[in-house]
Chain A
Amino acid sequence: MEADTKPKKYGPRLCCICNQRRAALKRPKTLEQICKECFYEVFEEEIHQVIMENQLFKPGERIAIGASGGKDSTVLAYVLSELNRRHNYGLDLFLLSVDEGITGYRDDSLETVKRNELQYGLPLKIVSYKDLYGWTMDEIVKMIGLKNNCTFCGVFRRQALDRGAALLKVDKVATGHNADDIAETVLLNILRGDIARLSRCTSITTGEDGPIPRCKPFKYTYEKEIVMYAYFKKLDYFSTECIYSPNAYRGFAREFIKDLERIRPRAILDIIKSGENFRISTSTKMPEQGTCERCGYISSQKWCKACVLLEGLNRGLPKLGIGRSRGLNSDVKKDIKQGGGTESIESKQCGSLDF
């Protein structure tokens, strides 16, 4: 071993914040080289600032953390409980998980969430598709096959999370969407021509007019830093792709974002900034919100999407409500976009983006 190669790796690379310890990573946001300890501090402090500046929480609120067992929600649960203690937010935090009923995938990730419950001392609530809808994803896939299954899963999950939140009587749900996810969503909405979603997708809090608002404390947090944080802190998270949509994360848009990040890390925040600044006239009409006649969930149609899909499953007509087929709501097809084109530009595991 030559002594002269050592300094190259360990020597002069000191943390540019404390100037004492060895730098452990290069921050994508600032390109600073910093040590682990300083990284923990700035990482947590920035999230605290985002929470304060955007007034995400009020003292005394009950907050559910959408927990999938994956890296983002695990780090979110850890950091939120830490910040809640440190800065006296006065929040009652809960973990809320959805059990889709996917053997070999969700059952394993739920084990992770159950460990998180003990590790962070946060009460956990699991709502399952089986309990809410009478069907597990395993059973749904058995009936409809591997086509369109992500539509069912996405529609059901969105509603399941709201129902779980209602059971926990929380004021708000916090999700682990990070800056990369939001940048990707901005691009996807441009690629799909969805101006209504484009105008909403960069909001840090959504659904304030709905039953339970959702917020994204990681809106400005790079995925790289979340993974680094989880790795350095040895946080217990689960990372396997959904068995029913393997390779879903091999999307063009995700790949593009990562390519951009490599040559210009700030591109991710620039995309979010663009998304926030687009000149979208507020008169762009939003679908009128009513309630589903069957289950009482918010819906712009007579029946909510979940009920339409469920009706199809129960009547043995799983195509109901999918794509262009005629269903109960003749125009339900407008809401459910499904088809070759969209699917292949879909990227990250659908579970995390739909939360």
Chain B
Amino acid sequence: MQLTLEFGGGLELLCESVKVHNVNVDLPKGAEKLTMRDLLSWVRTNLIKERPEMFMKGESVRPGVLVLVNDCDWELSGQLDTTLEEKDVVVFISTLHGG
């Protein structure tokens, strides 16, 4: 599945300072849909190069990291249970960096 992932607010530093990643994520074995839960564990394995604890806590993002799916707060679409579709854009922004 083709997805566009964006990292902002300092999170890009965890993946070699690249902000936008066009990726192809396979569905988990036997699954019919790709959820945010699956995507997060994929990101952690494949994109995060350092300090994964800055990005994740447990199976979700670390509190203070905002997630938008197609420009919509993931709190509206079910957070970890949000289903992803072809060409979706997922944005991760840290709120934890200085202002």
Contacts and interface: CB of A to CB of B under 8 A. Distances in A.
A and B touch in the complex (CB under 8 A): yes
Contacts of A224: 66, 95
A234 to B, nearest CB: 11
Residue among B9, B64, B66, B85 having the largest count of chain A Cβ atoms under 10 Å = B64
The main secondary structure of chain B at its interface with chain A is loop
Interface string A241-261: 110000001100011001101
A321 interface: no
Nearest to A255: B63
A300 B18 CA distance: 48
Nearest to A347: B96
A5 B82 CA distance: 10
A24 B93 contact: no
A262 interface: yes
Contact count band on B:
20 to 34
B98 A1 contact: no
Residue among B9, B70, B71, B97 having the largest count of chain A Cβ atoms under 10 Å = B97
Contact of B99 (A8, A23, A36, A68): A68
B93 to A, nearest CB: 6
Given A26-B73, A239-B10, A249 B85 contact: no
A319 interface: no
Contacts of A249: 96-98
A279 to B, nearest CB: 31
Interface residues of A, number: 45
A91 B25 CA distance: 52
B63 A231 contact: no
Given A5-B33, A24-B73, A227-B9, A239 B98 contact: yes
A213 interface: no
A261 B95 CA distance: 13
A163 interface: no
Nearest to A265: B75
A228 interface: yes
Contact of A348 (B9, B91, B93, B96): B96
Contact of B97 (A228, A231, A232, A240): A240
B37 to A, nearest CB: 15
A29 to B, nearest CB: 13
B91 A349 contact: no
A351 B95 contact: no
B16 to A, nearest CB: 14
A164 B60 CA distance: 43
B76 interface: yes
Interface in B62-92: 62-64, 66, 68-73, 75-78, 82-83, 85-86, 91
B97 A23 contact: no
Given A1-B86, A231-B93, A9 B77 contact: yes
A6 B84 CA distance: 10
Nearest 8 pairs of A and B residues by beta carbon: A72-B99, A349-B98, A258-B63, A70-B99, A25-B73, A258-B64, A239-B97, A352-B98
30 contacts: A1-B86, A5-B33, A6-B85, A9-B77, A9-B82, A9-B83, A13-B76, A22-B72, A25-B72, A25-B73, A33-B76, A71-B9, A71-B97, A71-B99, A176-B99, A226-B95, A231-B66, A231-B68, A231-B91, A231-B93, A239-B94, A239-B98, A241-B13, A241-B98, A242-B98, A249-B98, A255-B64, A261-B63, A262-B63, A352-B98
